[in-house]
Copies of this chain bind each other. A is one copy, B any other.
């Protein structure tokens, strides 16, 4: 799975194998100063009955974005504890979606994050999540 195959800029990379993310996505990421940026180009299998990108697909993508933001800042694997989403606007099949994930605080066990999904200048979804770090 190559970002170029989805017309996604080459600065984005794959994280780990994850069957569900590869089945719904694939999703790609790039570290940023405050967390991570992610990229995804939804296809025909990602749309709902109205012909727009399904809310569950958007939530899966922002969950990826926010977890990867936590991983990029901490270097540790993590699991999502809670995630809130607002569905601000509809997304179109074939349009490049960018996820922006920011870490607002890290404690020893929890990371607080927030982010959004954009398509061009439009915000499609806003979200926040609490993730738990997995320490050995």
Spell out A's residues near B (CB within 8 Å): 16-21, 23-24, 44-50, 53-57, 59-61, 63-64, 79-89, 104-105, 109-110, 112, 114, 116, 123, 126, 128, 130, 132
Q: How far is the CB of A33 from chain B (nearest CB, A)?
A: 16
Chain B residues within 8 Å of A116, by CB: 104
Give the residue among A50, A53, A57 with the most B Cβ atoms within 10 A.
Answer: A57
Chain B residues within 8 Å of A17, by CB: 49
* 17 pairs, A vs B, C-beta closer than 8 Å: A17-B49, A20-B54, A20-B57, A21-B48, A24-B57, A55-B63, A56-B59, A57-B60, A59-B59, A59-B60, A81-B86, A81-B110, A84-B84, A84-B85, A86-B128, A86-B130, A88-B104
| Chain A contact residues, majority secondary structure | mixed
Q: How far is the CB of A112 from chain B (nearest CB, A)?
A: 5
Q: How far is the CB of A111 from chain B (nearest CB, A)?
A: 10
